[in-house]
């Protein structure tokens, strides 16, 4: 089974309008070189419309960093999946560890967001990951399973191939500490076996599993070489075109 590698940049709370347009323009100019790799960037939400204009007709996709699960209603400060689709945003990152940690997003809420994405033709990039404390206490599999269960419960087997799961060990995010390729592969193999339990082997083989946490051009090739590492969710190294494209190039070399 070949899964199309998928590299998504998460800009978090970075880049204003001028930088967003400039960096996206530089990335879009090169994106079609890596045609066997799916590429997307998640800028700050208020700039998605401007970003969509820059990326019109390009091979670089757009992602949102978050989304609300309801379509409309009294939810001040939120936005819905259909608002993203209207702007040609194809993906939504849900359950990022920073959302869980700073904004109290629960695993149950992440499941609802995954469901809303699938109902609205958005690809959910559902994030899971353990903290260092949890890893050292030997709780990694319990923690990851508890985060995965509401995600798999929200998805029907016939649509599960559209799901993307990003494994992002919290201790590797923005710290410069990357999980070793073997550590990433160990977790990804376990995730795929849980997916097989939920949806059957054939479907599990189609689900793309991204690794995230200090991915950069210098370590991308090694991480992406692992059998079950199908892409990357990239923070810091996605802020500039050359480093993001360096990671795309590594994926392209392997695809």
Query: Is residue 158 a contact partner of residue 118, using CB atoms and an 8 Å limit?
Result: no
Instruction: Give yes or no: 168 in active site.
Output: yes
Closer of 171 and 199 to ligand PGA (Cβ): 171
3-state secondary structure of 164: strand
Catalytic, out of 15, 168, 188, 226:
168
Q: Which is nearer to ligand PGA, 47 or 234 (CB)?
A: 234
Please report how close the Cβ of residue 12 comes to ligand PGA at its closest, in angstroms.
7
Catalytic residue selected from 83, 96, 98, 226: 96
Task: Give the tokens for residue 228.
Answer: 């079950």
Nearer to ligand PGA, 204 or 247 (CB): 247
Query: Whole-angstrom Cα distance, residue 187 to residue 206?
Result: 17
Using an 8 Å Cβ cutoff, are 211 and 188 in contact?
yes
Minimum distance, C-beta of residue 111 to ligand PGA, in the bound complex (Å): 20
**Shortest CB 74 distance to ligand PGA, Å:** 30
- Nearest to ligand PGA of 204, 216 (CB atom): 216
Q: How far is the CB of 182 from ligand PGA (least distance, A)?
A: 19
Report the alpha-carbon angle 102-144-238, nearest 5.
Answer: 55
38 is catalytic: no
Q: Could you list the residues that contact ligand PGA (CB under 6 A)?
A: 10, 168, 173-174, 212-215, 233-237
Task: Indicate the residue whose CB is closest to ligand PGA.
Answer: 235
Q: What are phi and psi of 209, to 5 degrees?
A: -115, 115
DSSP state string for 199-245: H-HHHHTTSEEEEESS--HHHHHHHHTSTT--EEEESGGGSSHHHHH
Q: Which residues are known to be catalytic? A: 96, 168
């Amino acid at each position: 089974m070949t899964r199309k590698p998928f590299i998504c940049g998460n800009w978090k709370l970075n880049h204003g309008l001028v930088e967003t347009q400039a960096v996206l323009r530089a990335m879009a100019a090169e994106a079609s070189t890596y045609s066997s790799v799916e590429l997307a960037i998640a800028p700050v939400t208020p700039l998605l419309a401007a970003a969509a204009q820059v990326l019109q007709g390009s091979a670089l996709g757009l992602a949102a960093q978050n989304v609300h699960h309801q379509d409309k209603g009294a939810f001040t400060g939120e936005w819905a999946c259909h608002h993203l689709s209207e702007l040609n945003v194809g993906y939504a990152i849900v359950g990022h560890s920073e959302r869980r940690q700073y904004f109290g997003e629960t695993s149950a809420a992440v499941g609802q967001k995954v469901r809303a994405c699938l109902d609205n033709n958005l690809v959910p990039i559902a994030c899971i990951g353990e903290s260092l404390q949890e890893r050292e206490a030997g709780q990694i599999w319990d923690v990851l399973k508890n985060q995965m269960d509401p995600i798999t419960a929200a998805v029907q087997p016939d649509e599960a191939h559209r799901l993307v799961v990003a494994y992002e060990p919290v201790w590797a995010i923005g710290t410069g500490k990357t999980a070793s390729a073997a550590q990433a592969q160990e977790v990804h193999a376990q995730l795929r076996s849980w997916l097989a339990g939920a949806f059957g082997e054939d479907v599990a083989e189609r689900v793309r599993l991204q690794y995230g946490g200090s991915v950069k051009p210098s370590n991308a090739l090694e991480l992406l070489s692992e059998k079950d590492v199908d892409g990357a969710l990239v923070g810091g190294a996605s802020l500039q075109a050359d480093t993001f494209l360096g990671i795309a190039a590594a994926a392209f070399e392997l695809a």
